């Protein structure tokens, strides 16, 4: 083998040895970005926990003001708040954990696929750059994907707990839950 062939062979071996290190480095950078955003993903999960009961809470508040005697409103309101806190205590941790899990999976894959190592370093350092703009643009798409997965994972928990909360709030207010209202008769003249 002549000298140029040896140099070329050494370069090829060096380049092939560097490729896995770069891929691992890229993966590590993406993982650091995901870790830094854990609080936002947890908040996203809590927002998903609160979303299904927003209308319920608003309606219960209106019924509280309209139908509960003034001398019982404070105690009833406190009991309602206790039930809402219990709902969030039951549902919140599951949705927070699920949001962190799915956001981590989705964001890591998206970062590794769409960004190179230099761009990941820029994102990690939160510099003003085209990489940061691209990163923010994928937020809505990622949130939709994560929301679908989190809600899919926890649909039965949310529905069961929201139904129980609705029944408990209706009981506290002395009214029938919305789902228990008698159906209108179709045979009326």
Which tens digits make up the pLDDT trace of 8-61?
Answer: 444 445 444 444 445 568 899 999 999 888 888 998 999 999 888 888 888 888
Q: What percent of the chain has pLDDT over 90?
A: 29
Q: How far is it, in rounded angstroms, from Cα 103 to Cα 109?
A: 10
In angstroms, the Cα distances linking 96 to 78, 93, 107, 165 are 26, 5, 16, 20
Q: Is the pTM of this model over 0.85?
A: no
Instruction: Give, as one character, the DSSP assignment of residue 180.
Output: G
What average pLDDT values come out for the chain (189 residues) when binned by 10 residues?
51 48 74 87 90 86 86 92 92 94 93 92 69 69 84 86 86 73 41
| 97 close to 157: Cβ distance less than 8 angstroms | no
**Residue 160: what pLDDT?**
87
Q: Any idea where the domains of the chain sit in the sequence?
A: 25-174
Following DSSP, what letter does each residue of 120-143 receive, concatenated? HHHHHTT-SSHHHHHHHHTHHHHH
Residue among 52, 64, 68 at smallest CA distance from 164: 52
**Residue 187: what pLDDT?**
40
- Secondary structure class of 71 (helix, strand, coil): helix
- Secondary structure class of 116 (helix, strand, coil): coil
Question: How many residues are there in the chain?
Answer: 189
């Amino acid at each position: 083998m002549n000298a140029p062939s040896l140099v070329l062979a050494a370069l090829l071996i060096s380049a092939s040895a560097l490729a896995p290190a770069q891929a691992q480095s890229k993966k590590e950078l993406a993982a650091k970005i995901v870790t830094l955003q854990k609080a936002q993903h947890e908040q996203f999960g809590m927002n998903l926990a609160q979303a299904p009961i927003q209308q319920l809470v608003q309606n219960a508040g209106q019924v509280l003001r309209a139908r509960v005697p003034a001398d019982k409103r404070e105690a009833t309101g406190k009991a309602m708040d206790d039930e809402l806190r219990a709902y969030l205590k039951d549902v919140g941790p599951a949705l927070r954990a699920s949001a962190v899990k799915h956001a981590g999976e989705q964001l890591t894959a998206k970062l590794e696929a769409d960004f190179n190592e230099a761009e990941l370093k820029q994102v990690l350092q939160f510099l003003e750059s085209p990489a940061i703009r691209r990163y923010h643009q994928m937020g809505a798409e990622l949130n939709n994907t994560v929301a679908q997965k989190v809600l899919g994972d926890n649909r039965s928990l949310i529905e069961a707990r929201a139904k129980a909360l609705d029944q408990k709030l209706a009981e506290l207010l002395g009214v029938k839950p919305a789902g228990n209202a008698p159906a209108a008769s179709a045979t009326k003249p």
